[in-house]
Amino acid sequence: MKTETHKTLRLLLGDQLNINHSWFKTVDASITYVFMEVRSETDYTHHHIQKVIGFFAAMQSFANDLRQRNHQVIYIHLNDDHNLHQFDKNCESLISKNNFTRFEYQLPDEYRLDEQLKNFAAKLKIATHVFDTEHFYSSRNELKDLFAGKKIYLMETFYRYMRKKHHVLLEGADKPLHGKWNFDEDNRKKLPKTHKPIAPLLFANDVIEIEKEIKKAKVKTLGTVDSKHFIWPINRIQSLSLLNFFIENCLPFFGTFQDAMAPHEWSIYHSRLSFSMNIKLLSPKEVVDKAIEAYFENPGKIEYHQLEGFVRQIIGWREYMRGMYWMKMPEYSRLNYFDHGEPLPQWFWTGKTKMNCLKNAIHQSLDFAYAHHIQRLMITGNFALLAGVHPDEVDAWYLGIYIDAIEWVEITNTRGMSQFADGGMVGTKPYVSSATYINKMSSYCTGCYYDKSKKTGDKACPFNSLYWNFYDRHEAKLSKNPRIGMMYTVWKRMEPKAKTELLKQAEYYLNHINEL
């Protein structure tokens, strides 16, 4: 009697590089893993060259790691003749040619890929199965279940729930360590003029061949790269080195200066672990556990507010954004609360602007495919919101330019937190500011072409008039917001002549936005 042989094809996406996944616990010759470099992923938005290289380099490294562990691997390169440049089409071809009897994949983190693979699996005539990625603290629907029946989805509520559920930084069963859940008020210091942050840990990966393949395929990218010395971690060993470097050298200062900004200081004390975490070379739990372990092992070296601020970004903010994404997609991607419709200023793609803060933040993004959260929120995002840029354009820019940007974490931060296009689902108020805040948290204003203290007239900082113009335009939608009611009180008390001058100044800047 003939024994039926089973052959399984398992698809791994570029952000599913978790070597500790249960899939890899045993070696089975009947299971083949497939990786693909496809144009459907390089071309759905205009990506930074470092982002495309980073994904491909990490995928190739992970595939080699699996081979060394004796797993069966198929790797489809960008310029392979048989590459059909879509996950479903390549899988369909492989299943047909190799007589696979089963298809398996892990839950994608992006809605568009989830739909694509769900539809593909439903059409197959062979057995299919989908697995969890075994990465996050929470399930896709956990936040949705927590806030069932509620209209307000406070991150702080979710954060406390997560701390209790996973017993993170607690005294007893449900009391926060040191008596408070959140120490954010201790984490808003500007870098002192004499303070020089430690030089960031950078890698020197040779990715010349990958860059050549990307250019050969004529993939349209933005930004720059040194392909002889690619600075980002592309494997687990490098990712763990970066984690250790952060905990030893940066965590003791992280909280204090996490909102600070300064020219030529692109990393400061930030971990820059988001790329490694988002492609799953590191798990959030091991990152949080390692940071907490260091806090308790070295009494006095790391103050509690430094640690809590870091833990909150991962177990709170990161998981919260993912939960909001799966609760509100795909409708979320079409929200435009203010009906903004302006194009992104041309200099967002070049950094050629006279505004020092934007010039620094954009050039840094083009050079390193990275900016920290306050640069994204209160410099580039702040300006885009004040300028009335369409959220679609802002989304596309953020999704493309940053190496750690994957839609599940990008769109809720951009369209929600940054642009308030969701009308307050994620953020309780629009995050806009005049030059006052930028000067408070940075040294960008020093030496700027524009005068931070001038609201109108020659060389008046554009943020000042655009700030009041924003509130004036959207008074009907914002005046009842309790967090910003004070601003409307100030606006109403202003002399009519001063208000008119501010609005005229803003109108001039908006009409000449590409010249700023």
| Average of per-residue pLDDT across 370-381 | 94
CA distances (Å), 360 to each of 78, 176, 442, 448, in order?
33, 39, 11, 11
Helix, strand or coil, per DSSP, at residue 512: coil
| Rounded Cα gap, residues 279 and 70, in angstroms | 22
Q: Is residue 192 pLDDT above 60, yes or no?
A: yes
In which band, very low, low, confident or very high, does the pLDDT at 1 lie, cut at 50, 70 and 90?
A: very low
Sign of the torsion formed by the C-alpha atoms of 427, 430, 436 and 438: positive
In which band, very low, low, confident or very high, does the pLDDT at 137 lie, cut at 50, 70 and 90?
A: very high
In which band, very low, low, confident or very high, does the pLDDT at 187 lie, cut at 50, 70 and 90?
A: low
**What is the tens place of the pLDDT at every residue in 169-184?**
999 888 999 889 988 7
- pLDDT at position 140 is 95
**What is the tens place of the pLDDT at every residue in 15-71?**
999 999 999 999 999 999 999 999 999 999 999 999 999 999 999 999 999 999 999
| Average of per-residue pLDDT across 492-496 | 92
Q: Is residue 259 pLDDT above 90, yes or no?
A: no
| Rounded Cα gap, residues 455 and 445, in angstroms | 14
> Nearest 5°: CA angle at 183, between 178 and 185?
140
| Rounded Cα gap, residues 48 and 513, in angstroms | 24
| Average of per-residue pLDDT across 210-236 | 97
Q: Is residue 191 pLDDT above 80, yes or no?
A: yes
Report the percent of the chain where pLDDT is more than 90. Answer: 89
- pLDDT at position 4 is 58
| Average of per-residue pLDDT across 282-287 | 97
- pLDDT at position 32 is 97
Q: Could you tell me the pTM of the whole model?
A: 0.94
Q: Are 262 and 191 in contact (CB under 8 A)?
A: yes
In which band, very low, low, confident or very high, does the pLDDT at 480 lie, cut at 50, 70 and 90?
A: confident
Provide DSSP, 230-286. B-S--SHHHHHHHHHHIIIIIHHHHHHHTT-B-TT-SSTT----HHHHHTTSS-HHH
Q: Is residue 86 pLDDT above 70, yes or no?
A: yes
Q: Are 516 and 383 in contact (CB under 8 A)?
A: no
What domains can you pick out in the chain, each with its CATH number? 8-131 (3.40.50.620), 142-221+232-328 (1.25.40.80), 346-515 (1.10.579.10)
Paired with 48 in beta bridges are: 222
